[in-house]
Structure 1
Amino acid sequence: MWPLTTDRPRGVLALGAHPDDVEIGCGGTLLRLARRFPGLPVTVVVLTGTAQRQAEARTAAGLFLAGCRVDVRTSDLPDGRLPAAWDAVKDLLVAVAADVDVDVDVVLAPRPDDAHQDHRTVAEIAPTLWRDHLLLSYEIPKWDGDLGRPNVYVPLDEDTAHEKVRLLDKAYPSQSGRDWWDEEMFLGLARIRGMECRARYAEAFHLSKAVLSW
């Protein structure tokens, strides 16, 4: 069961199959958390990536989580092959859980129905390890057209939405030449999610279970 609360989190754990997953899926949310809760402990775990891409992930964490106590953990599991490396993914995440579980009550992870096999592998394992946490599943746009109907929204003001895009470009220069990587795509999705929650922009998540402590 996951408690739904507006109190200051003890800590946040953000899981990404690839460098840039976390920032694309919930970079605006991270910016909001960092501004509202200075000194917040945040652990970012990235399971795949070359040395260059891992360095980009560390840069991104510093930019998006300025003022937080940030711990970035990277691995070089096979990109695009995480289902075949299921045991290694499970072992890595079990080790993370054993290390940070006491200090974390919010977990950000991919969606279980994400069309990318690496994302789904992480999403499949996450709720088996973090059962008593607020587990929010972020969305990543892709050519598969797998975006669904989220049920949790984090509104973003205009400055925060644009800052997210600016920091994505700054942190991940290796991705800037991709045909899908541009301001219009990132802000377009954020505008749609904002419209759905009566805000200018927003990031959206899927939540399967919550406990209301009133």
Structure 2
Amino acid sequence: MNHDMTFYGKKVCFIGAHPDDIEIGCGALIAHIASQTEVKCVTLSDNQKNPLLTNVVKEHYNSMAVLGVPKENVIVCEFETRRFPEQRQEILEYMFKLNQDFRPEIVFVHTKADIHQDHATVTGEALRAFRGTTVMGFDVVR
């Protein structure tokens, strides 16, 4: 069995629950591969529950640009922060469509060891939606 983890020339999808999750967990990898890989970054919530966080989405797009991901390859969805378990089915359906439209060869999501309810839901639904695709986990260390 070939376990070659070459990213170049492949379609790689990074899925995070909130703005900054992908950057914290995979920023160095994205910066390393973005120029030679088709990268799509999907953040499922704009995380706007805190009124003090007014620039989170703008900062997210800016950080992705610094990492080499063009704005058209960055998606920010509107699933409600801290309510992902209740939205599990809708998240799964969104991921099925994402898989159908983008057809990634490698997917990165939160690690299965992450106990944050939103992160755990993202991972569980990604494992269902991207069955048959290489799915890898990343840590969001706080």
Scaled by the length of structure 1, the TM-score of the pair is 0.57
The offset of 1:134, in angstroms, is 2.3
The equivalent of 1:48 in structure 2 is: 45
Percent pairwise identity: 23
Distance in 2 (alpha carbons) for counterparts of 1:18 and 1:138: 14
1:81 maps to what in 2?
83
Give the match for residue 90 of structure 1.
Answer: 92
2:62 aligned residue (59, 63, 66): 59
Offset at 1:92? 1.5
Secondary structure class of the residue paired with 2:43: strand
CA deviation profile, 1:15-41 (whole Å, cap 9, x unmatched):
00000000101111111213xxx2421
Q: CA deviation at 1:64?
A: 0.9
Mapped contact 1:9–1:106 kept (Cα < 8 A): no
Unpaired runs of 5+ residues, structure 2, are 49-53
Match of 1:32 in 2: 32
Output the CA distance in 1 between the equivalents of 2:68 and 2:126. 22
Aligned to 1:13: 13
Aligned length: 135
**1:73 Cα offset (Å):** 1.1
> Where do 1:186-205 residues align within 5 Å?
none
Structure having the larger proportion of residues in strand? 1
Aligned mates of 1:65, 1:17 — CA distance in 2: 20
* Alignment check: 8 A CA contact 1:42 1:70 kept: no
List runs of 5+ in structure 1 lacking aligned partners: 143-214
Taking the aligned partners of 1:48 and 1:61, their CA distance within structure 2 comes to 16
| 1:125 aligns to 2:122 (yes or no) | no
Q: Assess if the C-alpha contact under 8 Å between 2:110 and 2:139 holds in 1.
A: yes
Q: Deviations along 1:98-143, whole A, 9 cap, x unmatched?
A: 1101xx211110012211000000000111122232211001123x
Letter matched to residue 45 of structure 2: T
**Shift, 1:76, TM fit:** 1.4
**Over residues 27-74 of structure 1, what are the superposed CA-to-partner deviations in whole Å (9 max), with x where a residue is unaligned?**
11111213xxx24211111111137422222222111125x7961111
CA contact (8 A) 2:92 2:129 kept: no
What is the Cα-based RMSD across aligned positions, in Å? 2.2
For residues 138-153 of structure 1, the aligned pairs below 5 Å read 138-142=138-142
Q: Return the TM-score normalized by structure 2.
A: 0.83
Q: Which runs of 4+ in 1 moved over 6 A?
A: none
CA distance in 1, matches of 2:15, 2:3: 19
Residue pair 1:4, 1:134 contacting (<8 A) in 2 also: no
- Say whether the 8 Å CA contact 2:108–2:137 is kept in structure 1: yes
State the distance in 2 between where 1:89 and 1:53 align. Answer: 21
